[in-house]
Structure 1
Amino acid sequence: MRTVPRVTVTVLGFLLAALALPAGLGALTATSAFGERYAARTDGAAPAAAPLRHDPAKPTAVVVVGEYGAVVSDTLAPYEILATTGAFNVYTVAPAGHPVPLTGGLDLVPDLTFAELDRLLGAAADVVVVPALPDVGESTSKPVGDWLNRQAAGGSLLVSVCNGAAVLASAGLLDGRPATAHWLRIDGYEDRHPAVDWVRGTRYVDDGDIITTAGILSGIDGTLHVVERLAGPEAAAKAAQAIGWRHYHAGTAASLVQAHFRPADTVVGLNTAFRWDRSTTGVLLTDGVGEIELASVFDTFGQSLAVSTLAVGPGAEPVRSRHGLKFVPRADPSAGELDRLMVPGARAADHRYLGLETVYPHRDPGFAFDGVLQDLSRTTDNATARWTAKILEYPADDLTLTGSAWPWTLTLRPLGLAVLGVLAAFGLIRIGRRAPRKP
């Protein structure tokens, strides 16, 4: 048997020592970062849903949230667009009525449970929007899949946003159909759901009674297309203008350059694994705030994995958004655990809490995500802001970003840990060599 040369063993040992500390500590930090995105509240708060107004003369559109939450922009952007038109009854629905966490810890009280919606309408909803759910493909998502099948059988127009396509695919609703999804996950879905004809390079795919959209903010284009179909192109154009969406194309899906993971995108790994000093931004919830304005803060920071968010409000009392959704803050702004305070809303009043730096990202006109991405760049770096825009599928090339080009301090952390691991291994070898040998 050929023996492995001692020098090879030594080199491999030092290599493993160099990797051990960065991998071990990075894994702990990454687990914490991903766990924060859908962390459920622990105080047991369960306020009643907001009162509903229902006009039987209007079609009803619903946005589904799962038992364990949903991506915040996938949920709130379609909701605001549909509500802005005034042409629909628009509700959020869930398997149960308790608050559910949207990305970043924004707790939404669903308007209706599935059973309550069925009793209200006595039939399927006209439009069902399906966002990405954190438990897609798991047994806990089965009630959602079963309910979606009943809605489809009743004639609903199903609209998936981003990885909501996986929810439809898991329910068997996309077999034999063309569909799209987020660029980062579509290859995996192609392997997992081979009966679906997965399409790349477009913001949405219209297959009649099912519309699927690409990543996150591509859901805006898909929802505007729904408005086109059911309320007319003029209503869609007005809705796009109302939310500041500059990328609306009437009648057809805007082309989309299919994204791929590039070397600069490794910044997300640095943020996830080695940003040990992740700051906490309090997000002040106020009555009348726009749904997309809220989504822009929680999703930008949440997708960056560089900043933690905490929904706050005076007395942690529930608030109502511009179109009537109910949200429940998790803490009072004076809780003492915040590094700064962000106040979403173009109409937000001035607020001051215990000397906290207060940021108003929507004071300047434009799409709600612009100011938040610029703030992310300023407080972290341009690479993080550009990665986040890429994940959001938001065309941000014309944004002025004023942060540093790259997070060099973060880059040095895994390198420093690798050097420390090698030195530790070297020290152990020296100690071993000096230890007296038994006769």
Structure 2
Amino acid sequence: MFTIYVYVLDTLADWELGYVTSELNSGRFFKKDAQRVSLKTVSASKEPIRTMGGLTIAPDCLIDDMVVSETSVLILPGATTWNDPKHSAIIEKAGGFLSIGATVCAICGATAALASFGLLDNRPHTSNGLGFLEMVAPGYKGQSFYVDQLSVVDHNLITAGSAGALLWAKQIIGHLGVFQSDTLEIWYEYFSTGKPDRFFALMQTLPSGNEN
């Protein structure tokens, strides 16, 4: 079973998580033999956080409660509060995830937090722009590994800029292998184009009994 840890912090950018968390939690487009998924919110304290959109989230667990294994996944959303020192613990945990082969997915401001800790210095990655990382991540040395794309996969590290949430979600879902390949491609086509025929094509890729 995959355990998906979603780090939540004040000013969390709501839109960056919507595609990936809704699909992984609902399983509505999963293939028949997909590995089960457990999604948990994790934070630096048990205090509720307030997202950028004004929503309140009560964390399910603390950083110390996390179990790090090859089937663990850490999702780090963007926020304007990543420079708060209390978030260094989750970035250290992200380093542990990467070192054992567990998956880390970071978008927008979270990529800057990884960059500040040197975790992007030697791996292909992206963000809101190379200049963004150079401006907000002191000591960043990964310029030669920066890729100017919406979202980039490097083995167990998946990074994206703030406008790359949909592609980032596709790449995370694809990495986990919980969709059939044709389902994933048409899912992405539908949400990126809005064409009605893509919605009906998507429904036709689903296993019997999963058309919801």
User: Which TM bucket (shorter chain)?
Assistant: 0.7 to 0.9
Q: 2:13 aligns with which of 48, 71, 75?
A: 71
- Hey, what does 1:164 align to over in structure 2? 110
Q: Deviations over 1:62-81 (max 9, x none)?
A: 22123x34211223332112
CA distance in 2, matches of 1:235, 1:178: 27
- Hey, what does 1:230 align to over in structure 2? 176
| Unmatched segments (≥5 aa) in structure 1 | 1-57, 249-439
* Alpha-carbon RMSD: 2.8
Measure how far apart 1:124 and its partner are. 6.0
Contact 2:70 2:103 (8 Å CA) reproduced: no
Higher RCO structure (Cα 8 Å, ≥6 apart): 2
- Hey, what does 1:61 align to over in structure 2? 4
CA distance in 1, matches of 2:70, 2:155: 17
- Hey, what does 1:116 align to over in structure 2? 65
Q: 1:83 aligns with which of 16, 25, 50?
A: 25
- Hey, what does 1:35 align to over in structure 2? none
Measure how far apart 1:106 and its partner are. 1.0
- Hey, what does 2:76 align to over in structure 1? 130
CA distance in 1, matches of 2:83, 2:25: 30
Q: Identity rate of aligned residues, in percent?
A: 19
Q: 1:106 aligned to 2:55? A: yes
Structure (1 or 2) with the larger CA radius of gyration: 1
Measure how far apart 1:174 and its partner are. 0.7
TM-score, scaled relative to structure 2? 0.73
Runs of 4+ aligned structure 1 residues displaced above 6 Å come to none
Alignment partner of 1:246: what SS?
helix
| Unmatched segments (≥5 aa) in structure 2 | 31-35, 195-212
- Hey, what does 1:15 align to over in structure 2? none
Alignment partner of 1:172: what SS?
coil
TM-aligned CA distance change 1:210 to 1:65, over 3 Å: same
- Hey, what does 2:44 align to over in structure 1? 95
Measure how far apart 1:237 and its partner are. 4.1
Measure how far apart 1:83 and its partner are. 1.9
One-letter identity of the residue aligned with 1:76: G
CA distance in 2, matches of 1:164, 1:212: 9
One-letter identity of the residue aligned with 2:5: V
Contact 1:133 1:167 (8 Å CA) reproduced: no
TM-aligned CA distance change 1:125 to 1:73, over 3 Å: farther
